[in-house]
Chains A and B, each alone.
Chain A
Amino acid sequence: MKDNPTIRVRGLVTRFGTHTVHEGLDLDVRQGEIIGVVGGSGTGKSVLLRAIVGLLEPNAGQIEVFGQSVRDTSDAEHRALRRRWGVMFQDGALFSSLTVRQNVEAPMREQLDLEDTLRETLAGIKVRMVGLPENAMAKYPSELSGGMRKRAGFARAIAMDPEIVFLDEPTAGLDPIGAAAFDTLIKQLQAALGLTVFLVTHDLDSLHAICDRIAVLADRKVLAVGTMEEMLAIDHPWVHEYFHGPRARAALSSAGKGIV
C-alpha cells in the first residue's frame, strides 16, 4: 500500500533571519519504512524534524502527515495527529522534575484515562523494553548517564505506541554495543508495531543495519533519496566523501558488503 506517503514535504523553505536553512526541500517518507536522514552538522536535519512535527512554522511549503496538512489544522485535529507520532529530541528533553517512569507515563496521563496501576505497568514495560535497568525507573534524568537519557527519551517517544517515531541522533553518545542494541530495538519495534521511523543519524552502522532508505540533506535541500547502494553511486563531493570515507568503508566491510 504505497499510494500515499506517510510524510510528504513539498517546497519547504525555512529561514532564521537572513540565514536560509531549507530552500525548496522535498521529501517523501513511506508507510512502515525506516528512513535515515543524514547531512553535515548544521544542514538543518533537526530543523526539518521540528518543522514536520509542527514545532516550527516554516516560511513556505507544504507538510502533510497521513495526508493531513500539519500547518493549517484545527487544534483538535493537531492533537489527534500528535497522538500518532512520538518524538525523541537530540538532547533527550526529558522532564527534569519527573522520574524516568513518570516521564514515560506523562503522555499516557495526558491523553488517556487509564487506571494508575495499569499505566505504571505499561510505562514500566516500555522502560524495560528500551533496555534500562530496573533501578533506573525511579531515577531523575540528572541522575542518568547520557546513553541512559537517550533510552529514556526513546521510551517516552514510544509510550503511546505511535505510528511514526522521529528520532534525532538516537545512537550518538552510546557505546558501540549499546548502539547496536538500540538499532536492533528500533528494528524490532518497527516490525512488531508497524512503525514508520524518521531517523536522523550520523551513525553509518545504523544506516547500514536498519535503514530502508537514506535521504541526504545538503545545499539546503534533499539532495538524494535511495538505498545504500544508490547512495554509493552518487557523484556529489560531500555525498562521495561521506559514503566513501574511511569510516564508511569500515562500516561497509563490517556489514559484509563489497567496497566500492
Chain B
Amino acid sequence: MARSGLPPKRLGALVDGGVLRLSGRLLIDTIEQLDQDFGQDASRFDVSQLQQMDTAGAWFLVDRQIQMAKQGTVLEIIGATSAQAQLIETVARNMPPPDQPETKPFTIADRFEAFGQKVTRGWRMAVELISFLGQVVATLAGILRHPSRLRLTSVVHHCQEIGVSAVPIVALMAFLIGVVLAFQGSAQLRQFGAEVFVVDLIAISILRELGILLTAIIVAGRSGSAFTAAIGSMKMREEIDAMRTLGLDPVTILVVPRVLALMLMLPALGFIADISGLIGGALMSWIELGVSPAVFQTRLVSNTDVWHFSVGMIKAPFFALIIGIIGCYEGLKVGGNAESLGRLTSASVVLSIFMVIVMDALFSIFFAIVGV
C-alpha cells in the first residue's frame, strides 16, 4: 500500500440496486464530500473498490450503521479487507455513548450564582492573602531569632536583580517626571509671577508622592511579575512540591529573600528617584525660568520641610511588602497549566499596583490626621 503519488483525494459513490458502492479514498478530508442523505435506502455498502480508508472513514461507515439501526434496518458492509474490517471494528467499539447529556441553557439563576461565586472567591482570596502575609511575617520573625536560617546569597542576588538593575530606568523615569513638572508648573505659575514657587511644587510632589509611587509601580511591573513567573513555573513543574518533601520550606527559601530584598531596595530606589527628579526639575527650571541651580538649592533647603522626604521614605517598605507578598502569593497559586501562569502574572501586577495606590491613599489620610 504505497500512498505517495496517488491521484488527488476523491471519493466516489454510486447506488446500484440497494448497494452503495464506494470507490476512491474514504478519508478524513473526503468524508464531507458525500451528502448526508445520499444512498439513504441502500442496505449494503460495498467498500471493495476503496483504495484507502482511515479512522474518519471507518467512523463514517459505523455512524451510518448506527443511524440505520435507529430506523430499524441493518446496514451491511461488504468487501472490506481484513485490515479495514479490523479498523471498522475498532472504531465501532469506541463510538461515543448514544445519549450525550444535553447542555443546559444559561439562566438568570446561573448568572446570580456566577456572581456570588466571584464574590466569595474574592473574599477567600483576601483572607488567604492576609494569612500568607502572616506566614511570611512569622517566618521573618523566626529568622530574626535564628539569623543562620536566612539565605543571604539569595537575598543579595535578588537585591541585584530588583535594585541595581532597575537604577537606570527608575532614574530616567524620575528625571523626566521632574522635567515635566517644572515645565507644566512654570507655565501656570508664570501667570501669577510666582515662578519661584515651582521649586516648592517640584520638591513636595516628588519627595512626598511621585518619586516613591512611580518607583513602586515600576518595580511592581518589573519584579512583582518576575516573582510570580519564577515561582509559578517552579510550581508548575512540581519543584515546590519537591522542596516540601525534602523538608525545605518554600516560604523561607523563595519568598523571604525576595520580600526582604524588595524591602531593602525599594527605599534605595525611591531615594534615587527623588534625587534624579529634583535634578530634572532644577534643570528645567533653569532653562524655562532662569532659576539658577544655586537659587533652586537654597530655596529647596530653606522652604521644604524634611518631613516631605521622610513621608515618602516611610511609605517605601510598606509598598515593598505589598508588591513582594502579592507577587509571591500569586506565584504559589499557579496550577498545572501555562495559561494560569500568564493569567496570574498579569493579575499580580494589576493587583499590586492597585494595592500600592490604595495604601498611598490611606497614608495620605493618616499623615493628614497626624499633621505632617
Q: Decide whether A and B are members of one complex.
A: yes
Q: Does B83 lie within 8 Å of A125, measured CB to CB?
A: no
Q: Closest residue to A160 on the B side, CB-wise?
A: B28
CB contacts (< 8 Å) of A129 on chain B: these are 55, 90-91, 94
**Residue B253 CB within 8 A of the other chain:** no
Contacts A32-B1, A192-B83 given: A126-B335 contact, CB under 8 Å?
no
Q: Does A1 lie within 8 Å of B2, measured CB to CB?
A: yes
CB contacts (< 8 Å) of A115 on chain B: these are 32
Q: Does A192 lie within 8 Å of B90, measured CB to CB?
A: yes
**Residue B87 CB within 8 A of the other chain:** yes
Q: Does B96 lie within 8 Å of A121, measured CB to CB?
A: yes
Give the docked Cα–Cα distance between A204 and B96 (Å): 35
Q: Does B59 lie within 8 Å of A67, measured CB to CB?
A: no
Q: Does A188 lie within 8 Å of B90, measured CB to CB?
A: yes
Among B131-139, B162-170, B336-344, the stretch that binds chain A is B336-344
Q: Does B87 lie within 8 Å of A193, measured CB to CB?
A: yes
Q: Closest residue to A162 on the B side, CB-wise?
A: B54
CB contacts (< 8 Å) of A124 on chain B: these are 96
Q: Closest residue to A128 on the B side, CB-wise?
A: B94
Q: Does A114 lie within 8 Å of B1, measured CB to CB?
A: no
CB contacts (< 8 Å) of A108 on chain B: these are 28
CB contacts (< 8 Å) of A112 on chain B: these are 28-29
Of B4, B63, B336, the contact of A140 (CB 8 Å cutoff): B336
Q: Does A118 lie within 8 Å of B32, measured CB to CB?
A: yes
Min CB gap B60→A, angstroms: 10
Interface string of A90-132 (1 = CB under 8 A from B): 0000011100000000001000101100100110111011000
**Residue B3 CB within 8 A of the other chain:** yes
Of A66, A67, A140, A194, the contact of B1 (CB 8 Å cutoff): A194
Q: Does B338 lie within 8 Å of A96, measured CB to CB?
A: yes
Q: For residues 1 through 33 of chain A, which have their beta carbon under 8 Å from a beta carbon of chain B? A: 1, 31-32
CB contacts (< 8 Å) of A118 on chain B: these are 32
Min CB gap A103→B, angstroms: 11
CB contacts (< 8 Å) of B27 on chain A: these are 161
Give the docked Cα–Cα distance between A1 and B337 (Å): 45
Give the docked Cα–Cα distance between A149 and B314 (Å): 52
Q: Closest residue to A6 on the B side, CB-wise?
A: B4
CB contacts (< 8 Å) of B87 on chain A: these are 192-193
Interface string of B294-329 (1 = CB under 8 A from A): 000000000000000000000000000000000000
Min CB gap B219→A, angstroms: 29
Give the docked Cα–Cα distance between A1 and B83 (Å): 18
**Residue B95 CB within 8 A of the other chain:** yes
Of B3, B90, B95, B336, the contact of A96 (CB 8 Å cutoff): B336
Q: Does A192 lie within 8 Å of B86, measured CB to CB?
A: yes
Give the docked Cα–Cα distance between A128 and B96 (Å): 9
Q: For residues 155 through 172 of chain A, which have their beta carbon under 8 Å from a beta carbon of chain B? A: 158, 160-161, 163
CB contacts (< 8 Å) of B32 on chain A: these are 114-115, 118
**Residue A134 CB within 8 A of the other chain:** yes
Q: Closest residue to B238 on the A side, CB-wise?
A: A142
Top 7 A-B pairs, shortest CB-CB distance: A142-B336, A97-B339, A96-B337, A128-B94, A192-B87, A161-B54, A97-B337
19 cross-chain CB contacts under 8 A: A32-B1, A96-B236, A97-B338, A97-B339, A97-B340, A112-B28, A112-B29, A118-B32, A121-B63, A125-B55, A126-B55, A128-B96, A140-B336, A140-B337, A161-B27, A188-B90, A191-B86, A192-B84, A193-B87
